[in-house]
Structures are given as C-alpha cells and as structure tokens.
C-alpha cells in the first residue's frame, strides 16, 4: 500500500514540477542507474547493454526517473527468463533523439499498447508480476512534459521495446 501511495504522489507532483533543462550525458546516466538496478537484483542473471550514443536536453531529475522506470520494468518482466538481456540504445532523427529499451521478457499483445501508459492499467495480474500500475504512466507524463512522445512495441513471448523521443532543441517554457 505504501508503494502505491508513493507512486500516486509522484505522479501527481509531475504536474507541478518545473522543467529545468540541462545537457544530460545519457550514456553515463544509464551506466549509473544500471549499477543500482543490478545491485537491487543481484540474485538474478541480468545483462544491461548500454549502446547509447547521444546526449539529450532534459530535466536531469525527471529524465533519471524515466531511465530508471523503463529498465526496472524490463527487469520485472524478464523474471521468468534464465538471463535477462536489456539493451538501451539511442538514435538521432531530424528533430529528435529517440531512446529505446529492449528486453527479452514476456512481451505483450500490441493491441494493448495504449493501456500500458494509463494509471492503474496492467496487462498482467499482480500475482504474476508485482507493481502498482503507475510507473509507465509516470514515464509518459514526464516525457510529454518535455514535448516528447512515448510508445512501445511488443510481441507475446519475445519481449518488449519501449521508446521515447525528445526534441533535439527544447523550448524553455515556464508553463510546463
């Protein structure tokens, strides 16, 4: 219950948090967060491949939450695999930097993609995979505060890839 309350508080605070854009060394951020996630899950065989090549302009605190929530989600949904393999990549498009996190977990039926990013929506029962159903809604809210987009592609039994894009040059609007 405490976890749910904390997640809901965090979700509600996102609306009030002012964006403070800074240049984020995304590769270093992924390395740092990966160490923490691996330490928390040291009883599992997990490989996190950091193939990030692009820095981003983002709020460092908020984007850290995104870059923690998505791989933590990947770790959770690879629980039944002998070894979890999570790959974090970046690519540059004309106007955006796109980051992706791929896992070899349970995957999902693509027709439920939108549901993943809604508060309290889950594709699996709590007895199979723990969680509050708020983590990916937090990710969506943060990415959208940065004028970005978030989406996922998956296939049952083969894994999931979460993507989010952020504009290369961000506005500094105060109304975010």
> Which residue has better confidence, 4 or 49?
49
Are 142 and 11 a contacting pair, CB within 8 Å? no
Are 43 and 37 a contacting pair, CB within 8 Å? no
**pLDDT level of residue 111 (50, 70, 90 thresholds):** confident
Q: In the chain, what are the domains?
A: 2-167 (3.30.565.10)
Kindly state the average pLDDT of the residues 70-92.
90
Note the pLDDT of residue 171. 43
Burial bucket for residue 37 (CB in 10 Å: 0-12, 13-18, 19+): middle
Note the pLDDT of residue 123. 53
Q: Given CA atoms 60, 61, 64, 65 in this order, what sign does their dihedral have?
A: negative
Q: Determine the Cα–Cα distance for residues 38 and 159; give it in Å rounded to an integer.
A: 19
End-to-end CA distance of the chain: 30
Cα 169 → chain centroid: 21
Lowest-confidence region among 26-30, 79-83, 128-132, 164-168 = 128-132
Q: Given CA atoms 124, 110, 98, 35 in this order, what sign does their dihedral have?
A: positive
Half-sphere exposure of 105 (CA within 13 A, CB side): 28
Note the pLDDT of residue 135. 83
Model pTM? Answer: 0.82
Are 79 and 156 a contacting pair, CB within 8 Å? no
Kindly state the average pLDDT of the residues 92-109.
93
How many angstroms separate the most distant Cα atoms in the chain?
47
Residue 3 has pLDDT above 80, yes or no: no
């Amino acid at each position: 219950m405490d976890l749910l309350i904390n997640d809901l508080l965090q979700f509600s605070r996102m609306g009030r948090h002012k964006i403070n854009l800074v240049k984020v060394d995304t590769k270093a951020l992924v390395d740092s967060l990966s160490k923490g996630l691996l330490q928390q899950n040291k009883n599992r065989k997990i490989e996190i491949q950091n193939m990030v090549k692009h820095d981003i302009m983002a709020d460092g605190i908020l984007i850290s939450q995104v870059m923690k929530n998505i791989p933590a989600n990947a770790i959770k949904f690879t629980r039944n695999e002998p070894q979890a393999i999570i790959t974090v990549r970046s690519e540059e498009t004309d106007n955006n930097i796109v980051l992706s996190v791929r896992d070899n977990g349970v995957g999902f039926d693509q027709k439920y993609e939108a549901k993943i990013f809604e508060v309290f929506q889950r594709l699996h029962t709590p007895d199979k995979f723990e969680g509050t159903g708020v983590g990916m809604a937090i990710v969506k809210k943060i990415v959208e505060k940065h004028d970005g987009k978030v989406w996922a592609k998956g296939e049952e039994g083969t894994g999931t890839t979460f993507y989010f894009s952020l504009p290369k040059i961000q506005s500094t609007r105060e109304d975010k």
